[in-house]
Structure 1
Amino acid sequence: MSVIAYGVILVAYLFGSISSAILFCRLAGLPDPREHGSHNPGATNVLRIGGKLSAIGVLLFDILKGLLPVSVGFYLELSPSEIGFIALAACLGHVFPIFFGFRGGKGVATAFGILIPMGYTISGFALGSWLIVFLISGYSSLSAVITALTVPLCVWWFRPEFTFPVALVCCLLVYRHHDNIQRLWRGQEDKIWKKKKSKN
């Protein structure tokens, strides 16, 4: 692995460690997402605690945390394994941010961001899978888990050289959703769009 690759991996982790959910909530005067709602510093929880515009900002920033480092890897013509480590580092930074006591989010948006430079077919499949499950079930967590389980197959089909690192990222996503999986099994998980309906 080249020195440049090590440098990009480090930058990817540090960039991923910037918790946009916490920063946007502070700027908008909203409660700390680590202490309210689902206690997850991510776009979905920011939406839960009432910050629609902040949630959009968090979502876009978290996607960029995956998209930009991996795009740099492609631009520098690094090897697939080096790009894979960059992608993993960006997600690890989001999940275990060094700047915020290693208490990060679930990594879904950042994981989506790493897929975009790998091709619109793969990123389109991931987005479509998430949207279909979400529109049918109303569960953001279920959408993320099912997408994480199916995306590696899509990557293997279209970009097999990235199968292993993407599979590692997807395993990380499933692990980060273990509490959600338990709540889904017990029927205690919250539905995002159903909650919105009850407020109208």
Structure 2
Amino acid sequence: MPEITLFALLLILAGYLVGSISSAIIVCRLMGLPDPREQGSKNPGATNVLRLGGKKAAAITLAGDWLKGLLPVLAAKMLEQPLDVIALVGLAAFLGHLYPIFFGFKGGKGVATALGVLFGFSLLTGLGVVAVWLVMALLFRYSSLAALTAMAMAPVIVYLQWNNAFLTACQTLITVILFWRHRTNIERLLNGTEGKIGQKG
């Protein structure tokens, strides 16, 4: 466990607060769309925004969710914080997305934000996880399966690149929580009722 300074604690808190900014809710409000917490899947994420408002709204939401994982980690790196502190900042941003203080602690499932955190660690780390997602998406055409497989591989990719136990442990925790948040998707995958990429209805 790293030694946490007051400055590091402030960075971790800032990471959580940035993560708590719900891109989906803000985009829907600005574009006059229904509240994503009350319509569709009732999940404030890019996939539900796609259902409610189309590709443009979903793309903006996805970019916002990705950036709020990326930027706090990059800020911690630019401020020359230890790798362990950077890992905690990323974890805090991810938890902020899932449990946003500004929106009643009801957030999204976290894939885009987790990916932003990984790109914050390094471009190579992020691209490695994206490569897994792409292969799985092309082979099976299930977005949720691709995301879950990519995130299952993320701790392995992090460990192989960084060889840091604490960083790997934080990424493993992100993966475990992300699987928990996708438990309904996992159930549908097992039942054969999960929708495929490009499938309507």
Q: Which band: TM-score by shorter chain?
A: over 0.9
Q: Which residue identity is paired with 1:50?
A: G
Q: Does 1:102 align with 2:105?
A: yes
Q: Does 1:49 align with 2:49?
A: no
**Alpha-carbon distance in structure 2 between the residues aligned to 1:22 and 1:117:** 24
**C-alpha offsets along residues 57-92 of structure 1, whole Å, 9 cap, x if unaligned?**
111111110111101111111112111110110000
Where structure 1 has 5 or more consecutive residues not aligned to the other structure, the ranges are: none
Q: Which residue of 2 aligns with 1:189?
A: 194
More deviation in 99-108 or 72-81? Answer: 72-81
**Alpha-carbon distance in structure 1 between the residues aligned to 2:138 and 2:45:** 20
More deviation in 75-84 or 93-102? Answer: 75-84
Q: Which residue identity is paired with 1:82?
A: V
Contact 2:93 2:113 in 1 (8 A): yes
Residue-pair matches, total: 196
Among the aligned pairs, what percent are the same residue? 48
Q: Secondary structure at the match of 1:194?
A: coil
Contact 1:118 1:159 in 2 (8 A): no
**Alpha-carbon distance in structure 2 between the residues aligned to 1:102 and 1:140:** 25
Contact 1:30 1:51 in 2 (8 A): no
Moved over 3 A (4+): none
Rate the CA distance shift 1:37–1:135 in 2: closer, same or farther, 3 A: farther
Q: Which residue of 2 aligns with 1:15?
A: 18
Q: Which residue of 2 aligns with 1:40?
A: 43
| TM-score normalised over the length of structure 2 | 0.93
**C-alpha offsets along residues 30-66 of structure 1, whole Å, 9 cap, x if unaligned?**
1211122222111111112232111111111111101
Contact 2:69 2:120 in 1 (8 A): no
Q: Which residue of 2 aligns with 1:61?
A: 64
**C-alpha offsets along residues 119-173 of structure 1, whole Å, 9 cap, x if unaligned?**
2221111111112212222222111111111111111101122211111111111
Q: Which residue of 2 aligns with 1:167?
A: 172
Q: Which residue identity is paired with 2:75?
A: V
Q: Secondary structure at the match of 2:34?
A: coil
- 1:134-153 to structure 2, matched below 5 A, reads 134-153=137-156
Contact 2:18 2:96 in 1 (8 A): yes
**Alpha-carbon distance in structure 2 between the residues aligned to 1:30 and 1:143:** 28
Q: Which residue of 2 aligns with 1:30?
A: 33
More deviation in 57-66 or 126-135? Answer: 126-135
**C-alpha offsets along residues 4-24 of structure 1, whole Å, 9 cap, x if unaligned?**
110011111111111110110
Q: Which residue of 2 aligns with 1:88?
A: 91
Contact 1:130 1:144 in 2 (8 A): yes
Q: CA RMSD in A?
A: 1.3
Contact 1:138 1:194 in 2 (8 A): no
**Alpha-carbon distance in structure 2 between the residues aligned to 1:134 and 1:26:** 31
Where structure 2 has 5 or more consecutive residues not aligned to the other structure, the ranges are: none
